[in-house]
Structure 1
Amino acid sequence: MTRPPTAAQRRVIDAADPVTGRLRGTEAQLAALVKRGLAFRHPRPPHDHFLTPAGHRTRESPEPPAAAEPEPAPAHGFAARVGGEERADDGPARAREVHSAWQGLLELRRMTNPDGATDRPCGWERTHLVRAAALALEAAGHPPEGPQGPGYRVRATVQPEAVAVYAPDGEGLRACAGTLEGAGWQTGEYTEPRTRRRYLLASPRRV
């Protein structure tokens, strides 16, 4: 069984950028994470280090209790709105956060897609489907469902690599479809048999 990361390594992993997985730490810490397969060093300057898919899974898994050392404070990172949040802070600060997160995701696509393409989703998005689709929608200016009123809602499905996207009406659904397709997703419109509500089934495009 692979040994879990040390407390110091875990703090580096927890502090990684929530979207790009960019790491900050000492050379020794970063080298140790690379050796464990939890991080990789980007081949192009400035040769930053990023979490691998295994590193992302480690960050999202519960941290085992440590008897000899107090638990580090949880990392508070950016979270795209999936719709249905009870509270939502709007304003210039949120707009800047969303813009920065989207630009970071495009950079992650450039760095991790084999051909450097930014017009289709990368591996991180395929393992964070709901968050990735919600970020694409929020970054394009679609309002999420919440205290301010109706809007989009993104939810997981039983289908592999697919999320369900709901909107208040057909026009909103078509607008969401256009945004997701422009962001490298493929969409199809369906009807729920029981409620007759229309929704999008969206999945990341591979080519």
Structure 2
Amino acid sequence: MTRPPTAAQRRIIEAADPETGRISGTPAQLDRLIALKLAFRHPRPPHEHFLTPAGHRLREAGDEPPAAEPGPAESGGVFAARLGGEPWSGSDTGPARAREVRTAWQGLLEIRRMTNPDSATDRPCAWERGRLAPSAALALEAAGCAPAEADGEDGSVPGYRVRDTPQPEAVAVQHPDPAGLAACAAALREAGWQVGEHARAGGGSRYLLASPRRA
């Protein structure tokens, strides 16, 4: 069984920046928090350390042990974007999830800043172009759009669904409600994606095709 964090490690967690989750400590302490999945090291210089969602939960819960991290996830087991259609549980909604999404989105903007040639944060970066569906889904959830929820009874609770397509650098976004589809289009454009609306053959339901804007 994994040992709980020590008193010194808890002090590091409690001293984390409340918004970004940035932490500081000795290399050994930080490595231990990473091993406990309570922190992660940013992949880009200056390689700062930040709390994972489990670390945030531990910080807020005091002495309660952290919940297990969901997986697999796009960023090393830290965060899993919702593509729509996944089953949810009670812990997947509310303030905790909103905080996780906000932290993941801020981290993605930082990756844009550090990897786009002009440090632009208003358009996707190469990291996103290599992970189209999760990146688009994160942009949607960060903007307040709700993913479809599988419920096992009548199919799903209405919401967006993001899927890869055979087209290079394009994902399809579906939503059963025209207003919801329009909201998804607006959210993706605001996040730096090019979006077009299309109708399925034979006059079927409408959907979006979205691609990362390059300039």
Q: So what's the TM-score if we normalise by structure 2?
A: 0.63
- The list of structure 1 runs, each at least 4 consecutive aligned residues, that deviate by more than 3 angstroms after superposition, is none
- What amino acid maps onto 1:186 in structure 2? Q
Q: Which shifted more, 117-126 or 80-89?
A: 80-89
Unaligned runs of 5+ in 2: 1-33, 49-71
Partner of 2:178 in structure 1? 170
2:126 aligned with 1:118: no
SS in 2 for 1:101: helix
Partner of 1:97 in structure 2? 100
- What amino acid maps onto 1:76 in structure 2? G
Separation (CA, whole Å) in 1 of partners of 2:179 and 2:88 = 25
2:190 aligned with 1:182: yes
CA contact (8 A) 2:188 2:195 kept: yes
CA contact (8 A) 2:194 2:210 kept: yes
2:200 aligned with 1:199: no
- What amino acid maps onto 1:132 in structure 2? S
**Count of aligned pairs:** 148
SS in 2 for 1:144: coil
Q: CA RMSD in A?
A: 2.7
Distance 1:82 1:195, change over 3 A: farther
Distance 1:201 1:81, change over 3 A: same
Q: So what's the TM-score if we normalise by structure 1?
A: 0.65
Distance 1:109 1:21, change over 3 A: farther
Equivalence map 1:124-163=2 (5 Å)? 124-146=127-149, 147=151, 149-163=157-171
- What amino acid maps onto 1:81 in structure 2? R
Distance 1:114 1:21, change over 3 A: farther
Unaligned runs of 5+ in 1: 1-13, 24-40, 50-73
Give how far 1:77 is off: 2.1
Identity of aligned residues (%): 62
